[in-house]
Structure 1
Amino acid sequence: MNQTEIINIFTKRTLGLTFVLSAAAFAFGQEKAGISGTIVNKSNQPVPYASVTFSNKANKLFSDATLTDEKGQYKLDLTPGNYDITIEAIDYKKSLINKQISAAGNIGALSIEAEKSATNVKTHDIEGIVLTAPTTKPYKVELDKRTYDPSQDIVSKGGNLQDVLQNVPSVEVDTDGTVSMRGSSNVKFLINGKPSALLGISEGSNALQSIPADQIERIEVITNPSSKFEASGTSGILNIILKKSKKVGFNGSVVGTLGYQPKTNLNANLSWRKNKLTWFLNGGGGYSESTTTSRNSNINYDQNKKFQLLRSDQETKNKNYFKNYNATVGLVYDLDDKNSFNLSGTVRTFDGETDGTINYNFLYNNPDFPNTYTLRTSDGNNNNLAFQGDFGWDHKFNDKGHNLSVSLSLQRNRSNNYTDIYQESNFITDLDTSGNIIGITPKINYELSNNSQYSLTKSVIGKIDYELPIGENAKLEAGYRIDRNDNFYDNTANRALGLNIPFTPLGNFTNVTNYDEMFNAFYLQFRSKIGNLGYQLGLRDELSNVKVDYRNLEGSKPINENKTYNNLFPSVFLSYDLGKDNQFLLNYSRRIDRPRSFFLVPYFSITDNQNIFLGNVNLNPSYVDSFEFGYSISKKKYTLNPTLFYRKTTGDDKTVAYQDDERTNVYFTTPVNLGTNEQYGLDFNGTADVFPWLKLMGNVSLFGYKTTGLYTYNTIDVTGASITRERPYDGSGFSTRARLNATFKVDKTFSFQLQGFYRGPQNTASQDRKAMYALNMGASKTIWKGDGTIAFNMQDIFNTRSMRSTNYLATGVRDSYMQWQPRQFSVSLTYRFKQGEKVEQPKKKKDINANDTGGDEQSPM
């Protein structure tokens, strides 16, 4: 069965199932009665935001819960029957009332009695009901991570993961989809605590665009990961937690989106819970288009950089067409009170087509060389098919947090790209017997080429995590993880120097690479609290083995590398409580940056024969020591989180540009281990409920950087002599990032949002990056008595989101411009069907353990 058949079957069956289950939801709704009521105190005054739980005495599956609004009123749908009604509210005594629900209507006012004084007793979970509700704070600081809740992000509604990340504090998304944190792009992505086939091989913009925003429950921003997390990703980890409903009965939502540039999406989140079994289905697909524009202007000088030899201008325009589909089906089975099993499978497909044109104009400062042009057009397509299967077992030794968790993930990702290229030029370069350019003959000539790239990745990830509480405040954690990744790359390139001429292989670009990784990791972590001081100490040991087997058709010596690393990665986290939700945080960790597999493949693509990327098989890992000192305060109407940070990277890898023949206009870029990089700065995050109708969330990053190093390369200079050049890479400077998100609440059902973004200029020894800014907006309206939401958003209102830079090369200067996506807008419609919203009782004041990381059920090792 080929991929097209899989897509067609998936599209028909998944979308069909969506509508069948939607119809089932309406059938369930017909069996219920809509009831309403009011919660009041003994003075007959309404009690806002009280938790009202209806426990069906005959069948717990019919139980439900809700919160009262600011007027003490509530509404929900219930199956007729006899119910115990539990009412809880801050500073009120818990109340229990029995009532028979027989028909729809208002059941009147229910009264609760106030406490004589507020207590610090932790409220208890209501037995048999799982309670969840969106927090009023979209951003929360914990001991070893920051958590972002995208449910209140109007700008990204109907969008994808890339859109959501543009609103996450401390995270930046470049115009080409590159994600960075505090100015560094070495970010590690996880899905539910582990690498995922959903992100494919590259973790690039195409992968980010394949995950719908409505499937994301929260994003954990881990700028300084503890020893429990894998050590890769020197600038931090982004852990994407996808939704898994725990509500009783049948629940779900369907989201449809239309937009321009042309964009259509339909996604569904469905779940069913009965007795010990829960199953869920998340999936959908869509189609989108984008236009990418880039321009380069190069000026080449003589050796003394006083005389201009050549100016070349290049403009590239690509029209991209994308189709993507994904589905995750899974189940959770609670064998008993102590054992739970989960099983899930994921399939993801991605298809893209690209029509591209590149125009080159060459202006020689030589009367013997006429001005010339080259027109290069390309037609490419790529498809990606990924599968993932996950199995897990969770065992509770007791109810005090003594747990054992075992998981296994099997992943397979196949990518196939093919490009046809047609090139027309109006000249032929004349060379002497030594290869020197002696003239240019005007003559129309043609060149045809094609480039195919096939890659296959197979991964096995196994984890064991163990948690042992010690006393009231201490916990010991330990675990083991094994990663096995087998990567296969098969690249082919052919060229014909004229029409009706047979193709001949391009030897360097026709190659095969096997890249295999094996990681074994062990960690031990202990956390406790002494008075107001909380601490967490951890140590991780990772044994890495990397094998690279590369050979090409050129006949050059094959590359066969086998590298082994054994490294220790300590982490220390300290916190000091000044009061409730008011604390200082100090932490340290050591991390590693392993080269991406395709960074090691010497010749990978020849889509643009004037700008060629070369991998470096000798690229080694980089290591970073990271320190943070922060303060966090969270009050009812505002949160503040300033953090000072310092990172020092040794063996830092950078991408550098050079010419292997300075008589041509061909530029190569390649990653190299340069030397040392230091970054320091202030990361400031905050939220504020300025007025009942205005909420602000902002992030400002001020950071300095200093890179020192040296790289060498061989080239042929303008005289035809072969020389070795050395270039220092000494760069330092200061840059800024800023984002402000303002949400305006017009009424209970309508809100709109403005999001401003600014990235300051950034300079190094070889590149000056210009400032970039953009403004986005979104609006959201609740309809159908809360069961529906219609949203509108516009990205880059003023069409200013583009990247501009000047690169200083050994032989000249290059000015670059790139816009990945022009202004776009979309409209989305969400419909929710459910047996009742399960919400969380607002907590009374309680003594928070400073070491509590939020009770995350994921095991991120």
Structure 2
Amino acid sequence: MVKTEINQILTRKVLGLTFVLSAAAFAFAQEKITITSTVVDRENTPVPYASVTFTNKANPAFSDAALADDKGFYTLQLVPGNYDVTVEAINFKKSTVARQITTGGTMETISIEEEETGSVVAPTQEIEGVTLTVQATRPYRVELDKKVYDPSTDIISKGGNLQDVLTNVPSVSVETDGTVSMRGNSNVRFLINGKPSALLGIDSGANALQSIPADQIERIEVITNPSSKFEASGTAGILNIILKNSKGMGFNGSVTGSIGYLPTTNLNTNLSWRKGSWTWFLNGGGGYREGEGRNENNTRFFDPVTGATTSYYEQNSLNKSENDNYNATAGFSVDITDRTSFNLSGMGRAYKSFSDNNVDNITYNAARIVDDFTQTNALGNSRNFTIQGDAGLDHKFNDNGHNIYLSLSVQQSDNRSNEKSTELDNLVPRYESQGNNHTVNKAVIGKIDYELPVGEVSKIEAGYRFDSNNNDYDFLNRETNDQFIMQTVNGFSGNTGYSETINAAYAQFKSKVNKLGYQLGLRAEHSDIGIDYLSLSGDASSKDKNYIGFFPSAFLSYDLGSTNNQLLLNYSRRINRPRSWFLIPYPTSLANRQNLFRGNEDLNPEYIDSFELGYAIQKRKITINPTLYYRSTKDETRFVVMSESPGSKILITKPFNIGNEYQYGLDLNATADLLPWWKIMASADLFGYQSEGEYYDATTMAKPLPFDGSGFSTRFRLTNTFKVDKTLNMQLQGFYRGGQETASSITKPMYVLNFGANKTVLDGNGTLAFNIQDILGTRGRESTNFGTGFERESMMRWNPRTFNLSFTYRFKQGEKVEQPKRKKDINNNSSGDDDMQGPM
């Protein structure tokens, strides 16, 4: 075959497949069954990359299509009925045969000829539950209520971790300090396999993201406007990380090892074994990583009345870190009966790190002459041990989609850290501080999801969810006095207990009328939150927050004449509860006495109303998915930098419910096959924003300060994939983040360039990958903060340029075995994940 012709037919048929699946997603009046088969020639030799289309004679909405792999195998799910099966392949004549689909398994092979019409050969062979998968040729697909990103096509993050993968996901941005945002909003809710997970910790941070290897990620679901079926937390939306849990006949799996600079090493494996009705799996590994961050702060203090400069303060820091992490997940699933299955798994994670932070502190007078110069050295150690157990039971009442799913998750995370900070004056210690923190997080999550078909094209879904989170924070901060005697800082030491109990219930109805598909839902959540604080000096406070919220959602889809022209309109209401450590009313660390973080126990949740209007356009070699969106946020949370007291040079960063924010924008994602050897994936987010509100700080006492601001910003990402030959591919990716301005800060633009390449070796069983992150050394954040009597310019760089080399070896894969799956939604292209048991 000619390579150009193969690429053309792959492009044409895979694009067609995407939107045929979109139409089929509305057809969930009946339970679908999995069928597999092979396309062969007259010599019974497999025909690679054949396009197979199943056209339902009674209802075109039930039609579907598949693309055979390089061995002629294909698989898909169909509603039972009569079909016309059309097969096309390069150098073979188009062939159409009739098939009646009644039961799942292996269908008769279809033989096609170069000169004549094909005929049916070979008898039917019943092999229940066998499913063969073909790698998607598109890195992402757009569905009714989410975008689904496939990291297997991402060369740049090979050998990396979850944080590296997220930098390539459409609509998602990762800041230099590891903060993840969606469409400029960092209030993102992380889920692992459809539920909160101790694998990321109760308060997800950059360290947690770096502990999940990229090769263990099956896909990432970007849910910018979740339905009532999902938990209501996270005003920016939900990132659902689906981990690999391969299930095949016999023993199969893969091992990936990588090395890089700054020094990194990783070794991870994914193993599974199936025999009879039992499937066992083991995923795990570990790694070592060094980091090097730089932070520069230059603060000008001035008289708030006259504006005259009074002094300057400069801080320059270099923070070096060493991190070790290990994780393992093991479990099994078993088919108890033909309709009932049970799964059980356990996860453990260990993490430890060491940091060495050196800071130069320089004080100037108004004439910019040095008044004082000191150096601060902070040595830190932290370790974490996390365990999690999950159990699930799935039951099908019948074959028509009447199902129930039950699951329970128990999680605990133990975090310990200590930090020793010494300030030196001409290499002589001036004072010393020590901080010891111990945090224990416990969580229990139980849920039930129920599905009931109504008539031919309708379905009712309902469920209940229980969340219980208990976090215990112990902080002990000490420092030396004038006589260099170590003593406890009672005001900054103590205990905070945080408890959160959420009871939630939801119901939603799905149906379709002609070309209009709709889904209406309502979720109710009762939240009971308690905060008990007691410092060693005797200061005590107790807060109890108790509230009920109702969260409606509505999704509409309209077929504009064909499956490649669909209009999508949706609405949802959501909540963002403050993270527990945002509520701790004292600094957790005294290592940097000039810049402290302090929580706010009076912080309230944010509420958001979100609207989206999307349109899916498909041409032969290009897909474009624009989405217009509008968000209105009430009681928006913002971090404000302020002086500790009037005239003080100590700056406090503290969260406040500032007021309201309104954001509107265009989220555009596209793919294109520019040439047979050159493909691109592009994403753009162009958004405007307006904030209005006020806050109080110690320098103005009872007088409120305005927090108004408006502006327009952009984010662009372009990934180029070049196919050099059958075994070698390269990627070049560019990212640009526009500047942003509020009433109290200005953030400058940033651009980044990355490169990756991979080569298939060992007859397709191995993959060698190489990548360079931040080729130009430009990844960093520069900002300016304003406040009463001060102006601070800051520059942060998380890591310098890095290199990574990885090797993956795949054991000979057995045939994929179908696991009990959730019945597809009428308005959703995806069949869900085997281990999610619903997203509630």
Q: TM-score range by the shorter chain?
A: 0.7 to 0.9
Alignment of 1:172-321 (within 5 A): 172-321=173-322
- Number of the residue aligned with 1:765: 743
- How many pairs are equivalent? 753
The structural deviation recorded for 1:397 is 1.2
The alpha-carbon distance between structure 1 residues 682 and 461, as it changes in their structure 2 partners (threshold 3 A), is same
Query: Structure 2 CA distance, aligned partners of 1:838 and 1:412?
Result: 33
1:736-774 Cα distance to aligned partner (Å, 9 max, x none): 000001110111111010111000000111111000110
What secondary structure is seen at the aligned counterpart in 2 of 1:214?
helix
Q: Which one of 544, 556, 568 corresponds to residue 562 of structure 1? A: 544
1:262-292 Cα distance to aligned partner (Å, 9 max, x none): 0000000000011100000000000000101
The structural deviation recorded for 1:473 is 1.6
The alpha-carbon distance between structure 1 residues 580 and 117, as it changes in their structure 2 partners (threshold 3 A), is farther
Query: Structure 1 CA distance, aligned partners of 2:500 and 2:763?
Result: 53
What secondary structure is seen at the aligned counterpart in 1 of 2:770?
strand
Query: Structure 2 CA distance, aligned partners of 1:402 and 1:522?
Result: 19
Query: Structure 1 CA distance, aligned partners of 2:397 and 2:633?
Result: 42
Query: Structure 2 CA distance, aligned partners of 1:51 and 1:473?
Result: 28
What secondary structure is seen at the aligned counterpart in 2 of 1:151?
helix
Alignment of 1:686-765 (within 5 A): 686-715=670-699, 723-765=701-743
The alpha-carbon distance between structure 1 residues 726 and 74, as it changes in their structure 2 partners (threshold 3 A), is closer
Q: Match for 1:267: what amino acid?
A: N
Alignment of 1:307-706 (within 5 A): 307-365=308-366, 371-425=371-425, 446-497=430-481, 501-556=484-539, 558-578=540-560, 579-603=562-586, 604-635=588-619, 637-706=621-690
What secondary structure is seen at the aligned counterpart in 1 of 2:569?
strand
| Contact 1:529–1:851 under 8 Å retained in 2 | no
Segments of 5+ residues of structure 2 without an aligned counterpart are 1-37, 53-65, 75-84, 89-94, 101-108, 819-823
The structural deviation recorded for 1:555 is 2.4
Query: Structure 1 CA distance, aligned partners of 2:44 and 2:388?
Result: 56
- Number of the residue aligned with 1:100: none
Cα-Cα RMSD: 2.9
| Contact 2:40–2:72 under 8 Å retained in 1 | no
What secondary structure is seen at the aligned counterpart in 2 of 1:162?
helix
Greater mean deviation of Cα atoms: 622-631 or 686-695: 686-695
The structural deviation recorded for 1:643 is 0.2
Query: Structure 2 CA distance, aligned partners of 1:178 and 1:315?
Result: 22
The structural deviation recorded for 1:502 is 2.7
Query: Structure 1 CA distance, aligned partners of 2:608 and 2:162?
Result: 27
- Number of the residue aligned with 1:13: none
1:71-109 Cα distance to aligned partner (Å, 9 max, x none): x7799xxxxxxxxxxx9955554899xxxxxxxxxxxx9
The structural deviation recorded for 1:581 is 3.6
The structural deviation recorded for 1:127 is 3.2
Query: Structure 2 CA distance, aligned partners of 1:46 and 1:487?
Result: 58
| Contact 1:176–1:820 under 8 Å retained in 2 | yes
Query: Structure 2 CA distance, aligned partners of 1:642 and 1:110?
Result: 39
Q: Match for 1:583: what amino acid?
A: Q
1:426-457 Cα distance to aligned partner (Å, 9 max, x none): 6xxxxxxxxxxxxxxxx976101100111001
Query: Structure 2 CA distance, aligned partners of 1:711 and 1:113?
Result: 76
The alpha-carbon distance between structure 1 residues 661 and 797, as it changes in their structure 2 partners (threshold 3 A), is same
Q: Match for 1:630: what amino acid?
A: G
Q: Match for 1:543: what amino acid?
A: H
Query: Structure 1 CA distance, aligned partners of 2:805 and 2:797?
Result: 23
1:149-184 Cα distance to aligned partner (Å, 9 max, x none): 111000001110000000000000000000000110
Query: Structure 1 CA distance, aligned partners of 2:626 and 2:423?
Result: 54
Alignment of 1:34-53 (within 5 A): 41=41, 47-50=47-50
Q: Match for 2:768: what amino acid?
A: I
Q: Match for 1:387: what amino acid?
A: I
Query: Structure 2 CA distance, aligned partners of 1:349 and 1:855?
Result: 30
Query: Structure 1 CA distance, aligned partners of 2:558 and 2:690?
Result: 32
What secondary structure is seen at the aligned counterpart in 1 of 2:199?
helix
What secondary structure is seen at the aligned counterpart in 1 of 2:165?
helix
The structural deviation recorded for 1:854 is 3.7
Q: Match for 1:352: what amino acid?
A: S
What secondary structure is seen at the aligned counterpart in 2 of 1:519?
strand
Query: Structure 1 CA distance, aligned partners of 2:366 and 2:128?
Result: 83
Query: Structure 2 CA distance, aligned partners of 1:549 and 1:135?
Result: 51
Query: Structure 1 CA distance, aligned partners of 2:303 and 2:825?
Result: 67
What secondary structure is seen at the aligned counterpart in 2 of 1:352?
strand
The structural deviation recorded for 1:68 is 6.2
What secondary structure is seen at the aligned counterpart in 1 of 2:186?
coil
The alpha-carbon distance between structure 1 residues 165 and 293, as it changes in their structure 2 partners (threshold 3 A), is same
The alpha-carbon distance between structure 1 residues 74 and 459, as it changes in their structure 2 partners (threshold 3 A), is closer
Query: Structure 1 CA distance, aligned partners of 2:51 and 2:276?
Result: 24
The alpha-carbon distance between structure 1 residues 195 and 850, as it changes in their structure 2 partners (threshold 3 A), is closer
Q: Match for 2:626: what amino acid?
A: P
Query: Structure 1 CA distance, aligned partners of 2:316 and 2:97?
Result: 71
Query: Structure 1 CA distance, aligned partners of 2:575 and 2:630?
Result: 16
| Contact 2:525–2:548 under 8 Å retained in 1 | yes
- Number of the residue aligned with 2:799: 821
Query: Structure 1 CA distance, aligned partners of 2:251 and 2:234?
Result: 39
Q: Percent identity?
A: 53
Q: Match for 1:220: what amino acid?
A: E
Query: Structure 2 CA distance, aligned partners of 1:575 and 1:370?
Result: 66
The alpha-carbon distance between structure 1 residues 304 and 520, as it changes in their structure 2 partners (threshold 3 A), is same
Query: Structure 2 CA distance, aligned partners of 1:727 and 1:470?
Result: 56
The structural deviation recorded for 1:660 is 2.2
The structural deviation recorded for 1:474 is 1.1
The two structures have a TM-score, normalised by structure 1, of 0.83
Greater mean deviation of Cα atoms: 700-709 or 632-641: 632-641
The alpha-carbon distance between structure 1 residues 277 and 444, as it changes in their structure 2 partners (threshold 3 A), is closer
What secondary structure is seen at the aligned counterpart in 2 of 1:208?
helix
The alpha-carbon distance between structure 1 residues 449 and 124, as it changes in their structure 2 partners (threshold 3 A), is farther
- Number of the residue aligned with 1:104: none
1:332-357 Cα distance to aligned partner (Å, 9 max, x none): 00111100000000001110100011
- Number of the residue aligned with 1:860: 839
The structural deviation recorded for 1:306 is 2.8
1:650-704 Cα distance to aligned partner (Å, 9 max, x none): 0111000110234332100100011100000000001112222111111000000
Query: Structure 1 CA distance, aligned partners of 2:45 and 2:273?
Result: 38
1:595-649 Cα distance to aligned partner (Å, 9 max, x none): 0000100112222111000100000111000000000134553221100000000
The structural deviation recorded for 1:44 is 11
What secondary structure is seen at the aligned counterpart in 1 of 2:342?
strand
| Contact 1:49–1:89 under 8 Å retained in 2 | no
Query: Structure 2 CA distance, aligned partners of 1:41 and 1:95?
Result: 19
The alpha-carbon distance between structure 1 residues 352 and 708, as it changes in their structure 2 partners (threshold 3 A), is same
What secondary structure is seen at the aligned counterpart in 1 of 2:138?
coil
| Contact 1:534–1:851 under 8 Å retained in 2 | no
The two structures have a TM-score, normalised by structure 2, of 0.85
Q: Match for 2:351: what amino acid?
A: F
What secondary structure is seen at the aligned counterpart in 2 of 1:860?
coil
Query: Structure 2 CA distance, aligned partners of 1:668 and 1:659?
Result: 6
Query: Structure 1 CA distance, aligned partners of 2:436 and 2:133?
Result: 49
What secondary structure is seen at the aligned counterpart in 1 of 2:492?
coil
What secondary structure is seen at the aligned counterpart in 2 of 1:695?
strand
What secondary structure is seen at the aligned counterpart in 2 of 1:371?
strand
| Contact 1:218–1:242 under 8 Å retained in 2 | yes
- Number of the residue aligned with 1:18: none
